[in-house]
Amino acid sequence: MQVKEVFPSIYKLIDNSQEILVTRNQTPGITYYGEPTFQVGGIEYRSWNPTRSKLAALIMKNIEYMPIRPGINVLYLGVASGTTISHVSDIIGDNGHVWGLDFAPRSVRDLLDKVTRHRVNISPILDDARKPASYSPYVPLVDVIFADIAQPDQAEIILRNARYFLKKEGWIMLTVKSRSIDVSEKPTTIYADQANIIEKSGFKVKDVIPLDPFEKDHAMILALSA
């Protein structure tokens, strides 16, 4: 089995014709959601399933660049119980930090119980992503804001947070869930509308990437602040 680094701290394991997306486990021997692990050259890697993570799906679309990288600060909106954030934690490493926000007490409790007690570079926040002022005392300026929120005003929510927390020349990564916005409209039209909202706010939209076949009727918008 060969290891190929596709982005800093993000890898694919190649076994014959099969490719498995993985991150290097920062807590060897501990897993978080039943994910398989692999030992290669004395290093433990955790499988990252693109059907369970929008960020993994994005990477499997063979994108050219990845804003989330070692040593940066990330604000993650809509963290849920911690599947994707555990891999973000692997990527950013000991010199980075990720603040994971969700409004559901059950999700934040699961994140605390299953993930953050093993990892010092994750800070959970129980709050509403529409109200960044309420958690602004706890979050510094960040390099990337990642949002995975099933709300009709998805673009407005991430932009509101960007005004509080995003560094100059920072990135926003918005998962657009088209069916949460309008079930009657074509997903491609919704993606374009959300990208237009972001561009009108002064961001440079670098890519709008549909996540099919891993996530039906979803896309990721990657945009850079001025």
* pLDDT on residue 204: 96
pLDDT tens digits along 13-38: 998 878 999 999 999 999 999 999 99
Are 121 and 68 a contacting pair, CB within 8 Å?
no
> Do 214 and 50 form a contact (C-beta atoms < 8 A)?
yes
H helices within the chain, ranges in order?
A: 54-60, 83-92, 105-111, 132-135, 154-165, 178-181, 187-200
Whole-Å CA distances, 171 to 44, 143, 224: 30, 6, 5
In this predicted structure, what is the pLDDT of residue 179?
83
Q: Residue 190: pLDDT above 80? A: yes
Domain boundaries, the chain: 2-47, 54-224
Q: By percentage, how much of the chain surpasses pLDDT 90?
A: 83
pTM: 0.95
Q: Where does 54-224 sit in CATH, by number? A: 3.40.50.150
Question: Strands (DSSP E) along 103-189, which ranges?
Answer: 122-126, 142-147, 166-177
Residue 165 has what pLDDT? 98
29-38, 120-129, 173-182, 212-221: the lowest-pLDDT one:
173-182
- Give pLDDT, residue 135: 97
Spatial CA neighbour of 102 closest among 69, 73, 79, 72? 79
Pair of tokens at residue 178: 């088209």
Q: Is the dihedral of CA 195, 201, 203, 204 positive or negative?
A: positive
Residue 81 has a pLDDT of: 78
Fold assignment, 2-47: Phosphorylase Kinase; domain 1 (3.30.200)
Is it the case that residue 177 has pLDDT exceeding 90?
A: no
Q: Which two tokens stand for residue 213?
A: 């076949």
User: Residue 226 pLDDT more than 80?
Assistant: no
Q: Report the mean per-residue pLDDT for the chain.
A: 94
Q: Is the pLDDT of residue 180 over 90?
A: no
Query: Contact 32/115 with Cβ under 8 angstroms?
Result: yes
Average pLDDT over residues 35-45: 96
pLDDT digits (tens, 9 = 90+) for 117-154: 999 999 999 999 999 999 999 999 999 999 998 888 89
pLDDT in tens, 58-94: 999 989 999 999 999 999 999 987 899 999 999 999 9
Instruction: Supply the pLDDT for residue 80.
Output: 87
Domains 2-47 and 54-224 share a fold: no
Q: Do the Cβ atoms of 135 and 124 come closer than 8 Å?
A: no
Predicted confidence (pLDDT) at residue 194 exceeds the cutoff of 80: yes
% of the chain with per-residue pLDDT over 70: 100
